[in-house]
Structure 1
């Protein structure tokens, strides 16, 4: 079994193009959707408008997976954060002392979701699936951070490419195939977002920015009730609306290149 972990961003979309061109051997791409209410709306729009039709045109299966509860209903990351009586903080919020909090979002909503699919379709410790991960040369240090599960054997086709591919190479591959370069991929409330990205969200998508502010406030209302210190979506130890201003307009062609979950592994 050979599958590719598709994150919806630049690196994994470049891998989709390479697979369509027969330059890498992956006929199945797996997208673990952490929730239609959780993924960046721009990523979901790109998936439906461009990635899925492109995959189908070239005979590639792009399978969208979701976290399922035992009763068969879907659980989303945003739903877990906001459910009544919820106490867990599965996202890597910043604690009041500046330290990042622990997180389980990647494990629960991506790694385990893909793992269940692999095991359901025959992957075992004795017969592991080959799983492609879209890590590019400019983030090679992330290879050592990704722990393999017994039922999988991770490989890195962008690094094995001759020459190894960087993020800007991936963007050129996508554009050359006639596709628009996808937006950076991450949950819209991800604390890994850089201040510049938050500022751009506040400028370009103020409704989405306000939703993030409201989520941060909800989490802190609950922590106050529990007698706990507040947490934040940035490292600045204050509310998002106070910590981030509105970004200035960028000149055409400039990009901050702050990748998030583009390869579907969320820094793992």
Structure 2
């Protein structure tokens, strides 16, 4: 939502024209996200002369099920052998979002890895974080990237302002960008997949069953999960999960304390941003469950 807003504001001249827009594709986004990206490219970016660069580190779903592929773990909900709840390490954002973006930026600057980027060479990178998420606005962790947050600093816009603006452009249906089977989905997101896209629902149900004992690489190397892994935070198979309501058991099982009912229902407000994923700061993790190779 916020990134689409930044692109549109730049394209129309309210904000300066950017050189490029970058979309990091995990290979497992909902079809609605790819349709929206195509529309943005044709109706907003191309007329303004802004190239949209699609970058990728691979297909996160295929990689998880490939015993020959090193896999950066997803934050799966787990039950240990003694029945205690937890979550596996979250490495997916760094591997499938941040890494390919940094790689492309280095190429655009003319210093692909492992070349050293001179200290006076950098890119100004705009990040779509609005005022209601201002505490997630951070500086870059490398000197060749300098983060800027125009929605906060230049405009003082909230998520609601972005929604209203996109509605004026006929883009009110802008979807959240996140993996189809993201464990941070709320019940409403799971229901939407089930009720509107039977093929995608079958896909995530099959994936949920396939990762019950961990990813394929971990199993192949003898590091089978000591417990069970699930996509839904209730820690039951997805096609049996209570996605039509939030249960008391879900709240009690939340490893971070009493779960917020709104987030259980609606998931992360802004999807999975490579620079502001809620999981990065908010998710309690457990290591040593054989999911990270």
- State if a TM-score over 0.5 links the two structures: yes
SS in 2 for 1:92: coil
Q: Equivalents in 1 of 2:242, 2:163: separation in Å?
A: 28
Deviation at 1:29, TM superposition (A): 0.5
Aligned to 1:78: 61
Aligned to 1:209: 201
Summarize the Cα distance change of 1:232–1:39 in structure 2 as closer, same or farther, 3 Å threshold: same
| Among candidates 7, 19, 26, match of residue 27 of structure 1 | 19
**1:155 maps onto 2:148 in alignment:** yes
Q: Which moved more, 1:114-123 or 1:174-183?
A: 174-183
Q: Equivalents in 2 of 1:227, 1:22: separation in Å?
A: 52
Aligned to 1:62: 52
Deviation at 1:216, TM superposition (A): 1.2
Summarize the Cα distance change of 1:256–1:99 in structure 2 as closer, same or farther, 3 Å threshold: closer
Q: Which moved more, 1:186-195 or 1:224-233?
A: 224-233
| Among candidates 31, 44, 48, match of residue 41 of structure 1 | 31
Summarize the Cα distance change of 1:241–1:212 in structure 2 as closer, same or farther, 3 Å threshold: same
TM-score (norm 2): 0.74
- The structure with more radius of gyration: 2
How many pairs are equivalent? 241
Aligned to 2:271: 261
Q: Equivalents in 1 of 2:170, 2:197: separation in Å?
A: 26
Segments of 5+ residues of structure 1 without an aligned counterpart are 1-9, 68-74, 248-254
Summarize the Cα distance change of 1:206–1:120 in structure 2 as closer, same or farther, 3 Å threshold: same
| Among candidates 137, 142, 165, match of residue 136 of structure 2 | 142
C-alpha contact (below 8 Å) 1:11/1:262 kept by paired residues: no
Q: Equivalents in 2 of 1:178, 1:204: separation in Å?
A: 21
C-alpha contact (below 8 Å) 2:177/2:271 kept by paired residues: yes
Summarize the Cα distance change of 1:85–1:257 in structure 2 as closer, same or farther, 3 Å threshold: closer
Aligned to 1:176: 168
Deviation at 1:220, TM superposition (A): 1.3
Per-residue Cα deviation, 1:42-76 (whole angstroms, up to 9, x for no partner): 10011113344320011211111122xxxxxxx21
Deviation at 1:12, TM superposition (A): 0.5
TM-score (norm 1): 0.80
Segments of 5+ residues of structure 2 without an aligned counterpart are 112-116, 246-264, 281-293
Deviation at 1:132, TM superposition (A): 0.7
- Pairwise CA RMSD of aligned residues? 2.6
Summarize the Cα distance change of 1:199–1:262 in structure 2 as closer, same or farther, 3 Å threshold: same
Aligned to 1:111: 98
C-alpha contact (below 8 Å) 1:137/1:166 kept by paired residues: yes
Per-residue Cα deviation, 1:197-216 (whole angstroms, up to 9, x for no partner): 11222222232122111111
Aligned to 2:124: 130
C-alpha contact (below 8 Å) 1:106/1:266 kept by paired residues: no
Aligned to 1:250: none
